[in-house]
């Protein structure tokens, strides 16, 4: 067990370009892993600065900006919070960011994916530019990247462009639809150790946290498959099929080019053709596996999720119901017919029941 943990940590760190990593089934969500990373970086009197608008819903109670008094939020520990609003086009406000960091800013949080906001997901070049701006203003400010949904979409990861820590979930991209649970934190060695102490206890760190053999195997296998699964979600391809002639079979294929859209692109193409707003646009560069569609009202959002559930290979007979979910500010509806409960890399979608009633889809499939 110990050897397996060390090997997985080492492989994961190498893949994302980090000094160290902790990859554990004991992280029970991406939010849990991100919270451990934030508590590793921040101390009383520090400020947390969100540089890409408001964070994902489930981080609001971690930070202490919604309903989290006296439960151990960052606010309870004397850590203040501020955010840089997005620009009018949904991207980063570079002018505001250029003078946003203060001496007390202990950590700048970059959310790579769009989350539940109608905004652009961030590419590695944007993350690199953001980190450079932050470090120019305050070299001591640590940079933490919420890496959920962005892993392996591009050829570089945030630690390769200066991020101090990244964190995410294994039931998203890096689990490859195989890992049944877990999350990770990766980055600078001393900061990963601090996050590990938050997960376990000071003095225990990375040395503890057993995993059954079948779970460890699944985590290795999921990481091995992850690039292919992510590729299926974001790529567009075409290939030529030359005419085939066979006297024996008497077959001649007239199709010379087969074009196959995949995953998010297919949803973007179909829904935009029907007049719905989509983010990103069908032919725009993709920086995560999420495809957002603005449906406009509660009824359409629920109907969309019901149809997705009906087409899933697992649980097609289930009718998704909107309801309150721990950590979320609004009612949320989830359609999830995946082989691993909670996995988002096969066919799933979800969305909050609030304006603009957008659904966020994660799809990996072959057409």
- State pLDDT tens for residues 121-163: 999 999 999 999 999 999 999 999 999 999 999 999 999 999 9
What average pLDDT does the structure give for the chain?
88
Report the pLDDT value the prediction gives residue 207, as an integer from 0 to 100. 80
Do 194 and 83 belong to one domain? yes
Does residue 244 form part of some domain? no
Provide the domain limits for residue 327: 249-282+289-362
Q: Average pLDDT for residues 2-23, to the nearest whole number?
A: 93
Does residue 158 form part of some domain? yes
Q: Average pLDDT for residues 228-244, to the nearest whole number?
A: 61
User: Is 50 exceeded by the pLDDT of residue 253?
Assistant: no
CATH code for the domain of 176: 3.40.640.10
pTM for this entry = 0.88
Own/partner pairs, 131-136, CB within 8 angstroms, 24+ separation: 131/158, 131/161, 131/162, 131/163, 132/162, 133/94, 133/97, 133/98, 133/101, 134/51, 134/97, 134/101, 134/108, 135/162
Do 51 and 189 belong to one domain? yes
Does residue 186 form part of some domain? yes
Count of domains for the chain: 2
Q: What is the pLDDT of residues 189-235, one digit of tens each?
A: 999 999 999 999 898 888 877 888 889 999 999 999 999 888 888 77
């Amino acid at each position: 067990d110990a050897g397996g943990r060390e090997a997985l940590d080492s492989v994961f760190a190498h893949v994302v370009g980090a000094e160290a990593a902790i990859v554990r089934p004991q992280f029970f969500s991406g939010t849990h892993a991100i919270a451990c990373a934030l508590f590793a970086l921040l101390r009383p009197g520090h400020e947390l600065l969100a540089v890409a608008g408001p964070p994902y819903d489930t981080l609001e109670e971690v930070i202490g900006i919604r309903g989290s008094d006296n439960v151990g939020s960052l606010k309870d520990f004397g850590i203040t919070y501020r955010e840089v609003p997005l620009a009018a086009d949904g991207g980063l406000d570079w002018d505001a960011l250029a003078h946003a960091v203060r001496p007390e800013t202990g950590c700048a949080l970059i959310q790579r994916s769009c989350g539940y906001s109608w905004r652009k997901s961030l590419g590695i070049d944007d993350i690199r530019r953001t980190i450079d701006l932050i470090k120019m203003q305050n070299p001591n400010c640590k940079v933490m990247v919420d890496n959920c949904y962005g892993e392996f979409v591009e050829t570089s990861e945030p630690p390769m462009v200066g991020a101090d820590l990244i964190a995410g979930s294994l039931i998203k991209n890096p689990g490859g639809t195989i890992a049944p649970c877990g999350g990770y934190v990766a980055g600078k060695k001393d900061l990963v150790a601090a996050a590990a102490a938050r997960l376990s206890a000071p003095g225990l760190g990375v040395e503890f946290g057993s995993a059954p053999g079948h779970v460890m195997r699944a985590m290795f296998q999921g990481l091995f498959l992850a690039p292919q699964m992510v590729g299926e979600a974001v790529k567009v391809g075409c290939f030529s099929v030359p005419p085939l002639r066979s006297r024996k079979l008497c077959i001649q294929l007239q199709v010379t080019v087969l074009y196959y859209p995949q995953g998010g692109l297919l949803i973007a193409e179909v829904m935009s053709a029907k007049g719905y707003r989509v983010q990103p646009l069908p032919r725009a560069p993709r920086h995560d596996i999420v495809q957002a569609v603005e449906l406009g009202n509660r009824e359409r959002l629920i109907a969309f999720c019901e149809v997705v559930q009906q087409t899933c290979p697992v649980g097609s007979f289930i009718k998704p119901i909107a309801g309150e979910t721990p950590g979320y500010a609004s009612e949320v509806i989830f359609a999830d017919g995946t082989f691993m409960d909670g996995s988002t890399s096969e066919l799933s979608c979800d969305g909050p029941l609030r304006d603009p009633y957008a659904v966020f889809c994660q799809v990996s499939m072959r057409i």
